[in-house]
Amino acid sequence: MIKVLVPYDFSEPSNYALNFAKSLGSNYPQFELNLLHVIETPVATGMSTMGGGLDTIPDFENQVFFLELIERRKKQFAELEKQHKDSGYAFHTKIVLGNVFKGISESVAEQHPDLIIMGSKGATGLEEVLVGSNTEKVVRTANCPVITIKAETDITKMKKVVFASDFRDTDNEVASRFKRIQELFNAEFYFVIVNTPGNFETTREAIARIKAYVQKHKFQNVKAEIYNSLSEESGILEFADDIDADLIAMTTHGRTGLIHLITGSIAEDVVNHSKRPVWTFKR
């Protein structure tokens, strides 16, 4: 059984994510797709399902608006459920009131999905520096892999996957999770180390480490690549462009608070700026 969570806000990017998840579901007899819609309220101290928690909304007019919105979303979800009646896989929907990120986090803790698929437009400028997008926050904190989608994606054409890493982390769980990608898409892997002026090593050293990683975890259909660039983020994006990759895969450190604000995250930056789907997993 593969259980997938799709945070869904009826936007174009979230439709991209839903379509991607539906394509996965059509290939697996044991597949469960969970659609989550969070209605963000002006004041929310906690999460509430459906019509509950309206007492947190400041005035009567706003309460009426949100009641009407809830009913509209319920009807839209009912229509989606009808469309998926004969899909061949389990399809569930849920609506909650509150903060979007908190709603997603609580659903992850409750449902324990194997994969989260999110549509995103990315975060830029001051939002990226100080707050970050909800997608970025989920990437940072989720205990399962996250695929971020920014455009309509045909999974049958996902044949080139870039795995960007330093390959010093020999964690079996990361390797195991990444192998699932090859099972899902039957793809060719490009294992790439980005050389930068501030963190340079010889090609011989880097290739040897990739080969050791491949042998340890018994990967197949892999090409080892070294790419020189001014920064790791730019190198990953440039390499993906150069080979016309279909997916970028990375791990993220999951740091939060002041440490995250100071050091940032290469994976989150790639998620924000990549036009391609990005698979991430918090190690």
210 in helix, strand or coil? helix
25 phi and psi angles, rounded to 5 deg: -60, -35
Q: How far apart are CA 194 and CA 174, in angstroms?
A: 19
Supply the pLDDT for residue 48.
Answer: 53
- Residue 219: pLDDT over 90: yes
Supply the pLDDT for residue 131.
Answer: 38
Q: What percent of the chain has pLDDT over 90?
A: 60
Contact yes or no for 161/187 (Cβ under 8 A):
yes
Q: Read off the tokens for 3.
A: 């259980």
281 phi and psi angles, rounded to 5 deg: -145, 130
Average predicted confidence (pLDDT) for the chain: 85
Average pLDDT over residues 209-233: 95
- Residue 54: pLDDT over 80: no
Q: Which amino acid is at 5?
A: L
Instruction: Give residue-wise pLDDT tens across range 185-214.
Output: 889 999 999 999 999 999 999 999 999 999
- Work out the end-to-end distance of the chain between its first and last CA atoms, rounded to an integer number of angstroms: 23
* Domain 155-282 = CATH 3.40.50.620: yes
The full length of the chain comes to 283
Tell which wins on pLDDT, 66 or 30: 30
Instruction: Give residue-wise pLDDT tens across range 85-98.
Output: 888 899 999 999 88
Q: What is the pTM of this model?
A: 0.87
Q: Does the fold of domain 155-282 match that of domain 2-119?
A: yes
Tell which wins on pLDDT, 184 or 161: 161
- Residue 261: pLDDT over 50: no
Name the CATH superfamily housing domain 2-119: HUPs (3.40.50.620)
Q: Are strands 48-49 and 90-97 parallel, antiparallel or unpaired?
A: antiparallel
Q: Which amino acid is at 184?
A: L
150 DSSP β-pair partners: none
Token look-up 């007492």 returns: 55
Least confident range from 101-110, 160-169, 260-269: namely 260-269
Hey, where are the domains in the chain? 2-119, 155-282
